[in-house]
A and B are shown apart, each in its own frame.
Chain A
Amino acid sequence: MTKQIIIPFGPQHPVLPEPIHLDLVLEDERVVDVIPSIGYIHRGFEKLVEKREFTEYVYIAERTCGICSFIHGMTYCQGIEKIMNIEVPERAVFLRTVWSEYSRMHSHLLWLGLFADSFGFENLFMNAWRIRERVLDVMEQTTGGRVIQGACKIGGVRRDISGEKLDEMKKGLDGIEKEIEGLTTVFLRDDSVRHRTKDVGVLSKEDAYHLGAVGPTARASGVDIDLRKTGYAAYGKLKLETITESGGDCYARCVVRSRELFTSMDIIRQAIGKIPEGPIDVKVTGTPNGEYFTRAEQPRGELVHYIKGNGTKFLVRSRIRTPTLTNIPPLIRMLQGCELADVPVIVLSIDPCISCTER
């Protein structure tokens, strides 16, 4: 029998922006098993519902993640609005959709950069992040914040975008699209990228579904789960193409995220074209009494906020199930049988967000 050794991977590692620890059980250079550990930076955000009023908690919800902060805030607001039967004005719903898709773009571009960095393609990493700056600029110009936007509130949004600015954003997308085309061509056609990602970290369709994979991790294995199809926000009024691949490897996950950048731009263009005039918020009175599971599609996959109120200004519970938490079991399956040298690329391929996981 081959001798087994255990190599610790993380919590500090050059490819990990945030701490997660994996005990890799190896036979020679091959990983045969993996034991994950999280909890290095758990912040106990959910406990703050007992100390912050439900209206203030929007800010807490947004700070769950530094990448998909807007969608966290929006999902929380959707849950409260459902419990309190608040009808959000159409214009606000469209604005939420536009900002959600810009969030997805900047998240995917961030991931493409980190992914390139994981296999040592530094130039590609810098190029992805250079384009991402243009997306962040739009977020900053329209909400006032690059990463934490603070634009969403219960009953609508805090800021409007003028018609002039919307036209400018639409034109700006043409330039961004051209640059993304060039960038993704390298990711999808360059031999050195394919060599490091093709047939690496394969996750079958059955495993992806039964182990709970979500987002691009699931879609790259052929599991067509995209919560935007449920029609929340303005998605029900827009045409949405879900991107799926069948390879289930790191390359397929890269393909899905690359192509989703174009889907996001298409959705933004549609939303800008259809956005109605009108108010951006409604007055909210009363307190939430009831419970609701609200779900949305984050860049990393399905996000669930469970909210329970008892009629007071403090909620009984806010439970946030983030995509990375549910993508950990599929990650273990991907790593079983891989080469040690491929571990960083495979770990990065699920786009792990540990701050989300450690909410």
Chain B
Amino acid sequence: MTTQEQTIIPIEVGKLFGGVEQFRNEGYRLVQIGCTKVGDVFEINYSFDKDFVFKNLRITVTAETEVPSISGMYWGAFVYENEMHDLFGIQVRGMNIDFKGTFIRTAIQHPFGVSISKGEKP
């Protein structure tokens, strides 16, 4: 089995900007931003790649935390940031293109921000 090496670096929200800036300066590309609901908090992974070296910055936030946008450094980040706002209800500050909740049209607000047990309708 081939293993694709990957690193996850947990950081505080306040240090996110500096961490991303370092990746940008070192020539990494942004692969994705993904959110995961773990209990009452959200883990947000910022994934970067350079020559198949795959690294992730991870912040852990609550629904009330305001997360700074990284779209100033990675212009394309707005698709992921709008996505995590619309699906999880994460508040992102300073996006270059802010759809204000209309990027992904969902029948219920922030569907991924709530947990569903088996048999229950979303």
Contact = CB atoms under 8 A, between A and B. Distances in A.
A306 B104 contact: no
Contacts of A319: 32, 34-36
A295 B31 CA distance: 11
Interface in B1-46: 1-4, 6, 8, 29-32, 34-38, 45
A269 interface: no
Nearest to A211: B76
A58 to B, nearest CB: 17
B34 A306 contact: yes
B103 A51 contact: no
A65 to B, nearest CB: 17
Interface stretch (A110-118, A134-142, A179-187, A224-232): A224-232
Contact of A51 (B4, B36, B104, B116): B116
B100 interface: no
A230 B1 CA distance: 12
B115 A306 contact: no
* Chain B interface size, under 10 / 10 to 19 / 20 to 34 / 35 or more: 35 or more
Nearest to A40: B105
A232 B116 contact: no
Interface string B86-101: 1000000000010100
A51 B31 contact: no
B31 A304 contact: yes
A212 B29 contact: yes
B79 interface: yes
Main secondary structure of the interface of B (DSSP, over half): mixed
Nearest to B86: A39
Given A51-B116, A302-B31, A329-B79, A293 B122 contact: no
B4 A42 contact: no
Interface in B26-75: 29-32, 34-38, 45, 47, 52, 54, 56, 74-75
Given A210-B74, A304-B31, A39 B104 contact: yes
Contact of B75 (A210, A233, A295, A302): A210
A353 to B, nearest CB: 15
Given A39-B105, A210-B75, A304-B47, A50 B29 contact: no
A51 B118 contact: yes
A53 to B, nearest CB: 10
Contact of A308 (B32, B36, B97, B106): B36
Interface string A193-231: 000000000000000011110000000000000010111
A47 interface: yes
A46 interface: yes
A294 B112 CA distance: 21
Interface stretch (A80-88, A143-151, A334-342): A80-88
A359 B106 CA distance: 12
B36 A304 contact: no
A46 B31 contact: no
Given A39-B103, A316-B38, 9 more contacts: A35-B97, A39-B105, A87-B1, A212-B29, A229-B52, A230-B4, A319-B36, A325-B79, A329-B78
27 contacts: A37-B102, A39-B102, A39-B104, A39-B105, A42-B105, A50-B117, A88-B1, A209-B29, A210-B29, A212-B31, A212-B76, A227-B52, A230-B4, A231-B2, A232-B2, A292-B6, A293-B47, A304-B31, A304-B32, A306-B32, A308-B36, A314-B118, A319-B36, A325-B83, A326-B32, A329-B76, A329-B78
